[in-house]
Amino acid sequence: MQKSLQLQAAMSAEFGVCVFDVTLDCEDGAAVGSEAEHAALVARLAQSAVAEARVAARVHPVDHAAFAGDVATIAGEAGHRLCHLMLPKCESVDDVLAAERALERAGAHALPLHVLIESPAAVQQAFEIAAHPRVQSLSFGLMDFVSAHAGAIPATAMGSPGQFEHPLVVRAKLEIASACHAYGKVPSHCVVTEFSDLGALRSAAGLAASRFGFTRMWSIHPAQIRPILEAFAPAADDIDAAAKVLLAAAQADWAPINFHGVLHDRASYRYFWQLLVRAQRTGRAIPDSVRHWFEDAGAIAH
């Protein structure tokens, strides 16, 4: 966890912006019987992180005996330093409501929730979960999703390229991405477990970004971070084109324009604006001609 925070600080200095979140894990990170001690460690690490850091914590599921203690300790002591709290094994909006009540008891009244969708029942509830105002993002838990099917989905679907081929897994990913986009939330793609195979990672990240509608992706190894950023960042030519269209639109007071023989209006302006926001978040250079629009913190907020 300490190494992850150090890497985040180093890459933030390199790119001029924090390009990935660090999630301090209690669910799989805590040894059985040491959950309280681990939660206290997570709280201390979050409090000690530099001011620009984006630090989150994954607590135990709401039906786990350690859940209440996790939230009370981590959100209660370090909620002001967290960018969000990650809720695993979320089955329905009732679990979101339970987590929200726990956060309120801890005094973390504004802390967003990121939710892990990890079962077929949860996929069926994805739209209702995404609609909750406290929920900021949905993540797909691939391995738990596959294992929840009692062997009906082969183990190959937990890896690549199988996770992009099996119909039930593909359906789950599309439901999660669609639910997020319906309510203005962030869909976050699952991990690629073949962490030593950067070719598999690049392929998976490219598909997640270009074909499945995801705008974020989990990493489980430092070597995965840069390939993920590259896959999710807009191309330099697209950044330049977006800036030119938006400049022409601004000169026309945002009325429809004919730009090199192509009609553009507020729908495409919104698309190109979002493309530039994504470029900024992934550490890409934005043309000087439009940079002033993105100096406002509200325009580049995560």
Annotated binding site for substrate: 58, 118
Q: Give the chain as a 3 state SS string.
A: CHHHHHHHHHHHHHHCCCCCCEEEECCCCCCCCCHHHHHHHHHHHHHHCCCCCCEEEECCCCCCCCHHHHHHHHHHHHHHHEEEEEECCCCCHHHHHHHHHHHHHCCCCCCCEEEEECCHHHHHCHHHHHHCCCEEEEEECHHHHHHCCCCCCCHHHHCCCHHHCCHHHHHHHHHHHHHHHHCCCEEEECCCCCCCCHHHHHHHHHHHHHCCCCCEECCCCHHHHHHHHHHHCCCHHHHHHHHHHHHHHHHCCCCCEEECCEEECHHHHHHHHHHHHHHHHCCCCCCHHHHHHHCCHHHHCC
Residue ranges for the known binding site for Mg(2+) are: 118, 144
Residue ranges for the known binding site are: 58, 118, 144
280 closest CA partner among 207, 220, 229: 229
CB atoms within 10 A of CB 297: 7
